[in-house]
Amino acid sequence: MKICPQDENIYLAFSDMLVDAKRYQEAFDILKQLPPEKKNDQIYARLGYCMEGLGKIVEADDFAEKSLSAKPGNALALNLKGTLAYRRGQKEEAIEFFQDAIHAESGYGEPNTNLGIIKWESGDKEEALNFLERGFILSPTSTDNLQLYHSAVSEKGFFKRAEKIFAEAGAL
């Protein structure tokens, strides 16, 4: 960041690592260092995730809206909107946002994992496991995706099924 302070990709990667480690304030502080002209839909979505992690739901929603205003269909912002709706107890709205996020970016694992959580809670364990598995396959370095998939596999006892998935994720 000291060598290339204008390269927002460095800030994005670093903030993603901090958010994954649940160090939301540090991630927020990193992203806020970017000059205003560098703030785009990706930056706003990540700032929203930081706020959501800090429990600042209104601010998180504001950043998600800024992201979607800058780029309608931003998968990160749609996933964040789904997470916020879920936290408010609006499961149907959350499901719609997660599905929209999947349609916007089919290679993004988080909304699959989030749909898996909702399915698991509703008792549809088989479909939940499919979503959790897809979320893990698409984003195997996400600590939450790994832990949630592992917990589901352990509870259901589907170790043979998961063995192949873990091996493929490790190879990737």
Question: Tokens representing 149?
Answer: 């998939």
As a whole number, mean pLDDT of residues 94-99 equals 98
Give the length of the chain. Answer: 172
Q: CA-CA distance, 63 to 47, in Å (whole number)?
A: 6
Q: What is the pLDDT of residue 38?
A: 82
What burial letters (b/e) apply to 72-85, b meaning 16+ CB within 10 Å? Answer: eebbbbbbbbbbbb
Lowest-pLDDT range, 5-9, 61-65, 98-102?
5-9
Pairwise pLDDT comparison (55 vs 34), residue with the higher score:
55
Asked if residues 12 and 46 have their Cβ atoms less than 8 Å apart, the reply is yes
Lowest-pLDDT range, 9-18, 20-29, 31-40, 50-59?
31-40
Of the candidates 86, 120, 121, 122, which has an alpha carbon nearest to the alpha carbon of residue 101?
Answer: 86
Asked if residues 93 and 84 have their Cβ atoms less than 8 Å apart, the reply is no
How far is the CA of 89 from the CAs of 28, 51, 83, in angstroms? 26, 18, 10
Residue 153, C-beta contacts closer than 8 angstroms, at least 6 positions apart: 129, 159, 161, 162
Give me the domains of the chain, ranges plus CATH numbers: 1-105 (1.25.40.10), 109-172 (1.25.40.10)
**Taking the CB of residue 22, how many other CB atoms lie within 10 A of it?**
11
pLDDT grade for 133, boundaries at 50, 70 and 90: very high
161 pLDDT higher than 90: no
